[in-house]
Amino acid sequence: MGGMHTANLLGTLIGVSTLTIGEPSADARIDPPGTMDASSVVAAHDATEWSVPLRQQCFYSGDLDGRAGLNSQRDTFVEEAWTFDDIDWPGGTVTVAWAHYGNRNLAPVAADIAVYEGLGEGLWGTRIVEIVDITDFSWTATGRNAPGGPEYELRVNVLFRLESGHYHVGVRPVGTGARFDGAWITTTSGENSQGGPIANGNVFLQSSSLGYPLPTSWENILGPGPWDVSFGLCGDSEPGVTLALEGDCPGTMTARVGGAMPGGRVALIRSAPGGCGGQTTIPPLNPCSGTVLPLGGASLVGIITADGQGNAAVTGNVPGITCGRVCLVALDLTACEVSNVAEF
């Protein structure tokens, strides 16, 4: 399988015939170009807390294409209108959301955001998040023209957790202006997009004010598309890298890594005997310097490479002296993320 290494392969890398995850031997070093030196990779640290850096992630459906626009606003002109488009979210905390609008004199005083799971034609599904009257927002001209008027970006600062899944998201301005002030969310064909799904036409309008009391596909309003709207989310993912130990100690065991950066390098780092509850910081001039590891007396075992799905594994011999006394973590050397602690 991709990302799987045997003891002999890793043993060749570190200069020993087999991989022994226990008391380090004098020649158990990693010293090829571009990797870390086990004699200096970590130093003891007395910190009382340790943290795992989070990986920022963003979804963006793409820039406007100027084809059309429909309402997604709450104000005097349109008392209630949502436009929802879909997103695959990998899981984590959402910190900012935005959408692009053709603006006709609308001066928002707040913003709303809503997230639904299972939304579809005539179906609301399950409401996951709805936050209204958000005042921490910006309304900024982009310099482009859109149906309805100059294009503006509505950017909203939020903070909520969204589990991994498929959702429909709506982000709309709230105004109090004249009757014919309005904003029309802009369409996109996916240019400069990030994440997915993109340009799949899975967008819905809901507005009792406009005669659509239940979610209605844009295709049933504007005709064949596919229609997508220009919006995005950004946030922090949960720590991505995980570590599992398989097999019996003592004996042959496999360290299996998941959730690493695809194609990236992953360091396996062990504690000193009895150091499972300690802490160690990676010193300067090393990859991921400053990262705090939840291991006392940590030292480098080896470096493996994740496959295209972010998975990797290595199998080796674990002696009895290690069992119940030594712990292991995986360190993603691209994202500088630390895995959970696994005990032999």
The burial of 149, by beta-carbon neighbours within 10 Å (0-12 exposed, 13-18 middle, 19 or more buried), is given as middle
Average pLDDT of the segment spanning 291-311: 90
pLDDT digits (tens, 9 = 90+) for 204-241: 999 998 899 999 999 999 999 899 999 999 987 665 78
Q: Where are the domains of the chain?
A: 4-53+239-343, 56-237
Which value, in Å, is the radius of gyration of the alpha carbons in the chain?
A: 26
> In terms of residues, how long is the chain?
344
Q: Work out whether the CA dihedral 147, 151, 152, 155 comes out positive or negative.
A: positive
- Say if residue 197 is preceded by a cis peptide, omega within 30 of 0: yes
Please state which of the ranges 114-123, 246-255, 309-318 shows the lowest mean pLDDT: 309-318
In this prediction, residue 21 carries a pLDDT of 32
In this prediction, residue 277 carries a pLDDT of 87
Average pLDDT of the segment spanning 36-62: 47
In this prediction, residue 40 carries a pLDDT of 30
Number of H helices, E strands in the chain: 2, 25
3-state secondary structure of 248: coil
Q: Dihedrals φ, ψ of 221, to 5°?
A: -110, -50
Half-sphere exposure (Cβ direction) of 296: Cα atoms closer than 13 Å: 11
pLDDT digits (tens, 9 = 90+) for 69-94: 888 888 877 788 999 999 998 877 89
User: Under a CB-based contact definition with an 8 Å cutoff, are residues 178 and 165 in contact?
Assistant: no
∠ Cα 159 165 168 (to 5°)? 70
User: Under a CB-based contact definition with an 8 Å cutoff, are residues 269 and 42 in contact?
Assistant: yes
3-state secondary structure of 150: strand
| Whole-number average pLDDT of the chain | 80
Counting residues of the chain whose pLDDT is more than 90, the rounded percentage is 53
Rounded distance between C-alpha atoms, residue 164 and residue 167, angstroms: 9
Average pLDDT of the segment spanning 298-316: 89
In this prediction, residue 44 carries a pLDDT of 30
Say yes or no to pLDDT of 112 above 80. Answer: yes
Torsion, Cα of 141, 147, 149, 152 (10° steps): -20
Rounded distance between C-alpha atoms, residue 308 and residue 14, angstroms: 24
Q: Which fold has domain 56-237?
A: Jelly Rolls (2.60.120)
Q: How many CB atoms lie within 10 A of CB 326?
A: 24
Q: Which helix (H) or strand (E) holds 222?
A: helix 219-222
Q: Per-residue DSSP letters for 199-212?
A: S----EEEETTTTE
- What separation, in Å, do the N-terminal and C-terminal C-alpha atoms of the chain show? 24
